[in-house]
Chain A
């Protein structure tokens, strides 16, 4: 039962489960796609805001680069008044960290530093000619602005503490005669901008990477520019296979369950028009290229997919329960049905069997009925025998006795007396014959044995001298192919065979070679014995009724008591066998015995 339930359940559930899996994965892919789209949008926003910050720096630089400086510009002494109003302006622009002018030799000729949040101080000049941004700045043409990498601020070769991430812009400056005076270098504070970049959107991780995939800033790392401050988590290698991230294109992808989105920021060579449209476009020169990367950790992705998973799980659990209950009910019903059919079948078999039994009983009853009928007939015959055959001599005797009593003539008396003798004789003979018949009728326990018919016929044959002579004109023939063994009373069968042979010899035709043929056969599942002869035969039209009756004789010139066939029939019927006759005068007789 459970096996069948399980089988059916699996048969139903497996396709459903496959469908579920398909649904889950398509749903997941869709979800991831949606997440990616969202992520790309968020990333774009971050990138754009970063770029805008950069533009704002560049615009500031452009402003300083396009100022018309006096000839032999000396901001500290001669032209300090020229600069003052500008410095007051700078004071309020809090992302200015340093504001410097550097001459064409790389030496500072003006340096203002932010000391407090809202004050700027002019400080000691330094030689910066070894600095890469100075070298690069001196290569700049007019209308070019240099944007440096983001780095920690260093003063006199030492990283300033607390760490101060800065970005520098460098632009050439000219006097009113278009002679280059040097460079304007502005350090912009990046902390605020980096903090803004790091601000988490929907629990995503944000990375700002430089061109070497080093982390400039990330919400996952406390410090900015960790590689510069000696932090080991400085590259993205530990988190992501860097091959996946490239400078070349913006992309979104899934790796190890994390969803990544990267967008590169490369401003080198880009041109902008600051201020009025009539101004010449400015070209940006920068060694930097950044990558803005957003990561959704697998945990988060999973969390996003959780509702889908949960709903599918719920659906599955309900399906499992539903299908199981369905399978169970169905199989139970089916089993009940099968059981019912089986029962029906067994009942049917039982009915058939009882029907067969009934038929068998019927046959048995028929058989018994048959034998009772035979018995009845026998008893009736016996009754007749007594009432007729015995009664006639007895009545005759009473008549004789009556006559004797009345008769006085001694002569007649002498005639009458021997008649009594005659009566007595006939009564004696009759009682003998009746006795023989009664012994057959009354024999309740006839000893049955298995008889070989061939042997028995051979035995009987030897009792008749006619059959023994070599030149005999009478032959006993056997054709016992179908059967030659039978269970019967040996005594009866011997007597029957004797009577047949005796009759066949007695009633043979003189003009032919006579024979008696015993032929066995099977008819309707019964053993049948045909006894054929080519004797004088019998007119059955005349004698048919009387053939097997007692004291019936049909041939005047042949002696006989009229008992042979009567006994044969009685003995056969005593053992439920029947006999019939077919005969033609001058041709022969066939007896058919059905056992």
Chain B
């Protein structure tokens, strides 16, 4: 009877397509909006993700996310190094700086200083030059994705101050000013797209301290590598006890940042509304079309009932129809979302579709399908088989 139910469903092409469109639309919208949301959230902590070498991040207890770096006393580095289970620990400097391009244009940027000796904490990949070029005089490396955008160099009309003439990207050899200090571009790096919009510039830790006004507290993070086999949570706890600083695993620091963005901005509500809208619209279209399909087939359900099909059989038939439509609609919507993701892969749009998101969409589509079936089922179960003798 299940096969018969599926044949009944798919045989009515127009209705079947209508149901599929509703469920596919819901599936597409839920997946797409959620994937953009997850993509954005992923970007909020991409800086942490791009530094996989560190097992733990040690920071001031007041830090709420990685862009909110608060400086610590440099002596904390030695205290962290003294904690049992720490294999090595290196300092990291991270702050906002004022950047002047060769044409005089001013930009705000994120300045990161990494350990002078080991260069641990550097960008995940180099496009031009090598990370070792940072040992050169006044060396900085800049984000390859920004050299022809926020770091592009253009001339301005002296009178109107509007950009004129051809624009060129920042390139190796260009001399910049960072907080009025000379800085020379020695390379470009590639990194994961970031939620934050200021261009990032890497240099060495000691040079970064030179680039910024002198303060007593200058170190923003300590990157820690645990000894092999060390329990990271236990080590983080020991560091907290011994130094009074905050210590997070990579995942913990990612979540700290993402949670801050979720709680302090309206991003979750905005995307939540879009996802909910997709769910409601999809459920309404699918539910209405499926219900109308069942109503149109009421005579045939009545015929089956008269011929001896019990309520259980009819229930299984309708649920099978709903699940079939739900499964296909889910697949189509997911496929469309995947195609969308592929198309926008090279754009600035954040889009991350992982298995958890697919599972959430599947659960939502299942709810829509079962809901649509439930609405129809009530009518069919209450159907009097005597309907078959009415013309």
Determine if chain A interacts with chain B.
no
Interface residues of B (CB under 8 A from A): none
A interface with B by C-beta (< 8 Å): none
